[in-house]
Structure 1
Amino acid sequence: MDAKLFYRPLFRLSGTLLLGVLTVSLSMAALYLDWTAGRSPFQIQSLTLPLWICALATAALGFSAVPMLQALKAGQSIREDGPQSHLKKAGTPTMGGIFFIPVALMAALAWSKFSPAVVAVVALTFSYAFIGWLDDWQIIRHKSNKGISPHMKLAMQIGFGGAFCLWAALTQSPNIANLTLPFGHLLPLGLLMFPLGWFALVAESNATNLTDGLDGLAAGTVAIALLALGALVSSTPDLMVFCACLSGACLGFLAHNRNPARVFMGDTGSLALGGALAAVAILSGNLLALLILGGLFLVETLSVIAQVSYFKATKGPDGIGKRLFKMSPYHNHLELSGWAETHIVGVFYLMGGLLACLTLTVF
């Protein structure tokens, strides 16, 4: 049976509807989490106030930042071998991370009064945003979908990630040597946390980068993950506020990135978001929780690895192999199977929310 005939959505989703549902859901979740923790939602060290302030600030800033990117001709180049429906997106401004990431970082620094932990996480997030900016700039400059070389990108990710992990180890951050297990148990790993955290930074930043392929997909799913991670690290209020600020900035960015997107975050945003998630998880000992919380990003990454591996393993004398999926990452497979873009995003939001609830229940 044709997948397009099999998959019949019960109702039409729009980008605006998805944004509205996500905004209400995250706001209610933040209010509930603050209430259960005995915090006022209007105090500085909470989840709700930073979420709302950064969301409003980013959404407002976007009305001037997006036209500026358009004027700079910072248009996205679309892969010719990708879904044909994406060709109409060619020319949409990219590199949107340059306006929503700084909003969150500056707000977090101010709110935390330049707490050392927040300064370190902000530095790591900014450095990964810088890598993404270099990549985006090369794409815009050469009018192609090829930025800096993969080897250079990986080397920079490893370098900045290693510096962050070294700082965490030398300052003996309270939770850096412990891995939090379900139901409050701790697993002391000692120096093993150093390579584990290092790997997580590189892997998570690339995973969120792979997820950034549909309008509103990465921004929404990361906003959900960040808010849940903020609740997990509430014993460290400064890191909690950082997560809430960045979650709010993602939500505000969606005002312009929802389907049909007026701007894409580019690698400037997606690499920074993955780095931020991993950095907070490292300092709080929540790498295992992040693995579950970011299950969608893991699936997207594994789909690419499986696709490439299977293609190489089945390659014949003509140099052509077989494919597991119609296209990877997995969201592209769903789209080519007949799923509407907004329905893929809606399902991913729902799954991200369920993973967040599961994580908060067991950790």
Structure 2
Amino acid sequence: MKQILFAGVIGLFLTLVGTPLLIKLLARKGYGQYIRDDGPREHASKRGTPTMGGIAFIFATVAAYFLAKVITGYLEGPEVDTAPTFSGLLVLGLMVGMGLVGFLDDYIKIVKRRSLGLRAKAKMAGQLIVGIAFAVLSLQFADNRGNTPASTKLSFITDFGWTIGPVLFVIWALFMILAMSNGVNLTDGLDGLATGASVLVFGAYTFIGVWQFQESCANALTLTNPGACYEVRDPLDLAVVASALMGSCLGFLWWNTSPAKIFMGDTGSLALGGVLAGLAICSRTELLMAVLGGLFVLITMSVVIQVGSFRLTGKRVFRMAPLQHHFELKGWSEVLVVVRFWIIQGICVIVGLGIFYAGWAADK
């Protein structure tokens, strides 16, 4: 349990201290954000703000995870197993891989000084390579109970239904990874919006990991109700990853909140979306992710509705998509939109955790 606390605190400290250093480095190199001309006029003042800030919390999360392992291993002694797990490493690998794709996209935007980075096919190819690698590897490395990091069954609170097989699982995992990555990417349009929303979801997954560990089927002999246990390979280590992410994003939010001194860019948004999907897959809460990350789903659907309506009827439902810009054009201030959307995300997390707990209580 100490790993969770250390990972969160270290991640917070590293981004609080490291992000301003990254800001100076990016500003010195002239790596500033390109701003769309058709967006809200207030955004014009953001042109040139350093981007690719996702580098800060990606590095901080990985460092916090491993430092927490080292520190707790030293404090608790060699008889306690504090080694990294395959689940934790795969989720971190997914984050780094998606972040690398986003970094290439951001870098090309800056060098070419255009709003389009990687070509659509190249960007999709990068995401597919990273996603397929994660999906295939997550079905390997079974523990002594036969549990692999991921399962070929669909899951909501736990696994349910028939086994869909490895091929369909890879397709399903890719869909989740791409959907969440693009969802966070679409949400990242206002200062601190995506970062703050992500902090709330990572907090939820820290709780879920701890709860699944305490109610793990591996401890069935000591549980009051073995029938309500969880077959998750490494729940506690997933909580360590989630805590490191929560702390790192919270520290980054100090510099990313309005008025932002740095933007996460595609480097950060693709990484956050990918790691959210990875946590959902490895914790067997795939469909629950749609509730816990409800704000990302809502904003993504606003784009789908806008594009679909325009193509079918020639009319727009919103003044501008994604949804946050619609409210800006209606006269809401940026800070007002962000805070109210954080409240919506907080409600989604509360509802999601309520469903998670209710599912466990119903099986008691």
- TM-score by length of structure 2 reads 0.82
Aligned partner letter, 1:123: G
1:64 correspondence with 2:21: yes
Q: Is the 2:138–2:150 contact (alpha carbons within 8 Å) kept by the matching residues of 1?
A: no
Aligned partner letter, 1:156: G
What is the distance in 1 between the residues matched to 2:27 and 2:149?
45
Q: Which runs of 5+ in 1 are unaligned?
A: 1-38, 315-320
1:220 correspondence with 2:192: no
Aligned partner letter, 1:345: V
Aligned partner letter, 2:267: T
1:140-159 alignment, distance < 5 Å: 140-159=110-129
1:74 is aligned to 31
What is the distance in 2 between the residues matched to 1:273 and 1:181?
21
Q: What's the CA shift string for 1:236-265, capped at 9, x where partnerless?
A: 111101011011111000111010000000
2:311 is aligned to 312
Q: CA deviation at 1:86?
A: 0.4
Q: CA deviation at 1:69?
A: 0.9
1:96 is aligned to 53
Residue 287 of structure 2: SS of its match in structure 1?
Answer: helix
Which moves more between the two structures, 150-159 or 251-260? Answer: 150-159
Q: CA deviation at 1:174?
A: 5.5
Aligned partner letter, 2:34: S
Q: Is the 1:304–1:329 contact (alpha carbons within 8 Å) kept by the matching residues of 2?
A: yes
Q: Is the 2:302–2:321 contact (alpha carbons within 8 Å) kept by the matching residues of 1?
A: yes
1:348 is aligned to 341
Which moves more between the two structures, 275-284 or 52-61? Answer: 52-61
Q: Is the 2:156–2:284 contact (alpha carbons within 8 Å) kept by the matching residues of 1?
A: no
Q: CA deviation at 1:165?
A: 0.5
What is the distance in 1 between the residues matched to 2:298 and 2:65?
30
What is the distance in 1 between the residues matched to 2:310 and 2:242?
38
Q: CA deviation at 1:80?
A: 0.4
2:163 is aligned to 189
1:332 correspondence with 2:325: yes
1:107 correspondence with 2:64: yes
Q: CA deviation at 1:50?
A: 2.5
Q: Is the 1:311–1:323 contact (alpha carbons within 8 Å) kept by the matching residues of 2?
A: yes
Q: CA deviation at 1:270?
A: 0.4
1:280 correspondence with 2:279: yes
2:270 is aligned to 271
What is the distance in 2 between the residues matched to 1:114 and 1:88?
44
1:106-125 alignment, distance < 5 Å: 106-112=63-69, 113-125=83-95
Which moves more between the two structures, 193-202 or 86-95? Answer: 193-202
Aligned partner letter, 1:165: A
1:210 correspondence with 2:210: no
Q: Percent identity?
A: 37
2:290 is aligned to 291
Q: What's the CA shift string for 1:70-111, capped at 9, x where partnerless?
A: 101010010001111101100100011112211101222343
Q: CA deviation at 1:185?
A: 7.0
Which moves more between the two structures, 164-173 or 62-71? Answer: 164-173
1:163-174 alignment, distance < 5 Å: 163-172=133-142, 173=148
Aligned partner letter, 1:117: S
- Of the three residues 80, 99, 104, the one matched with 1:134 is 104
- TM-score by length of structure 1 reads 0.82
Q: Is the 1:109–1:119 contact (alpha carbons within 8 Å) kept by the matching residues of 2?
A: no
Structure 1 pair 138–180 and aligned structure 2 pair: CA distance change class (3 A): same
What is the distance in 2 between the residues matched to 1:104 and 1:260?
24
1:83 correspondence with 2:40: yes
- Of the three residues 349, 353, 358, the one matched with 1:360 is 353
What is the distance in 2 between the residues matched to 1:248 and 1:186?
32
Q: What's the CA shift string for 1:210-247, capped at 9, x where partnerless?
A: 10000000100011111102211222111101011011
Residue 334 of structure 1: SS of its match in structure 2?
Answer: helix
Q: Which runs of 5+ in 2 are unaligned?
A: 70-82, 143-147, 214-234, 357-364
Q: How many corresponding residue pairs?
A: 313
